[in-house]
Amino acid sequence: MNRPGSSRLRRAVMQALGAPYRYFASRRRGLRAQYRRHVATALAGPAGATEALTERDLDHLPDAVARYVRRSGAVGLPRVTRFRATLRGRIRSSADGPWMAFLGEQVNTYGPHPTRLFLLDATMRGLPVDVLHVMAGGHAVMHVDLLSLVRVVDGSGPAMNQGETVTVFNDLCILAPGALPFAPVTWETLDEHHVRGIFTAAGQTVTAILEFSPDGDLVDFVSDDRLQADARGREFTPMRWSTPISGHRELRGRRTATAASAVWHAPEGAFTYAELEVTDLDTDP
């Protein structure tokens, strides 16, 4: 429990740092500015295919995946090649760690080398934290800055590349079902409600099990190929990862998942480390 004195101290610190923080948050080398530059580059080219998705495009998909794409309302709408999403929620670093509220934005593009750009604006113990994930050209980095000034996490390398590829596949399945018919995925039907997807992009191949409800909604995504990073983003541990989905609704004419969690299945027991809500999804940013 926070003591009243500690809360007053944090408020006093933030008031004292207000102007410097705003300066560092907006400076050219800050994570927010880096995110904007990456987004501008990712969206600079043409949007890609603009023709409508048809039933024939679904012929090669497993029945459960094709039903999910139809249920999303994607058939008859332009094919999805990229999207911009805004999110809000809370996140923590461990099973007993404090929750941090956050607002987030991400931009994904799809092609031979998918791009995933994710900016998270969180609050940790009353102090602002910026988090930037960049996946481009098959290479991933994660930066975390406290007060937009102190770099506390600086992650990269092969393990980060693999883990972020799983996240790219996850985003594709959850937020862009209209892109699934043309995605580099090999599918295997396990039963009426479960399929295995093997996703290959930029030299990385990862696997996940997708679970669908009787109505056809995607309700879970489970992979053993994502790795949990330590507090510094330097060491990575293989660990089962899942994203159970608890809500769907229509955004901009497409039905999409709008409430989900992220879970690490640690040896000592599974724990939810993130809960999020998708507040907007634009498939033609």
Number of H helices and E strands in the chain, helices first, is: 4, 16
8 inside domain: no
2 inside domain: no
9 inside domain: no
At 235 the pLDDT is: 79
Q: Which residue has the higher pLDDT, 25 or 251?
A: 251
Of 38-52, 61-75, 167-181, 236-250, the one with minimum mean pLDDT is: 38-52
- Longest CA span, the chain: 64
Tokens encoding 191: 């039963």
7 inside domain: no
CA dist 235 and 160 (Å) reads 10
CA dist 118 and 144 (Å) reads 12
Mean pLDDT of the 111-119 span: 91
Mean pLDDT of the 12-20 span: 47
5 inside domain: no
CA dist 155 and 136 (Å) reads 14
| CATH number of the domain to which 164 belongs | 2.50.20
271 inside domain: yes
pTM across the whole model: 0.88
Give the number of domains in the chain: 1
Identify the domain containing residue 32 by its residue range: 18-282
60 inside domain: yes
Q: Is the pLDDT of residue 23 over 60?
A: no
Find where tokens 């009243």 sit.
Answer: 4
102 inside domain: yes
CA 284 from chain center: how many Å? 18
Mean pLDDT of the 58-75 span: 98
CA-angle at 185, arms to 119 and 180, nearest 5°: 65
Q: Is the pLDDT of residue 245 over 60?
A: yes
Helix (H) or strand (E) run with residue 282 in it: strand 269-282
Tokens encoding 63: 């029945």
